[in-house]
Amino acid sequence: MGSTSWMPVAAPAWSAPACATGHVVWSASICRLQCSSGAKSKNVYDELHQDDLVSFMLARPQAYDVVTGAASLIHFGDLGPAFTAAGSALRAGGAFVFTVFPSERNGDFSVASLEGFAKGGCFLHGRDYIAATASASGFGIETIDSAVHEYKNDSPVAGLVVVLRKP
């Protein structure tokens, strides 16, 4: 999927107080069918876009209060370009909230094994790597917490929930 799986969102329901505009925008290229029919039929989005993550955000400087990426940065090894683009798209004080699979190689990222549904072929990211990349991209770290990313055969699959803040 590369850099085409992404969902910048102005404010998810659980963080509505952080959003001054109340608008929700979804940008995803998971597949044309989902973007064109499935998402539209939900009638919960102000706009739908099919675009590259980095290009989409760089083209919208200071447009969002919150950018989220649930299960999207797992398709990126180097998070630097995505962090830089999110920093560009966020207004001052904005939050960048996303999930990734954790890596035991704390200061780096790696590719998960191809075994099973959950992490096969996706990237794993270490906490120290995330923190260093966030800092280098100008973000403050609010949290990097362990959480359940998803379930496979009713068993939890570990993940990290990350909240970064643009000064």
Say what the pLDDT of residue 138 is: 97
- The conformation of residue 79, written as its DSSP 8-state character, comes to -
Domains of the chain with CATH codes: 2-165 (3.40.50.150)
Report pTM: 0.77
pLDDT tops 80 at residue 35: no
Q: How many CB atoms lie within 10 A of CB 16?
A: 11
Cα separation, 121 vs 118, in Å, equals: 9
Locus of tokens 């094994």: 113
pLDDT digits (tens, 9 = 90+) for 39-80: 667 776 677 777 788 998 999 999 999 998 888 899 899 999
CB-based contacts of 122, cutoff 8 Å, min separation 6: 74, 75, 101, 111, 112
pLDDT single digits (tens) 74-119: 989 999 999 999 999 999 999 999 999 999 888 888 888 756 545 5
The angle subtended at Cα 37 by Cα 35 and Cα 42, nearest 5°, is: 90
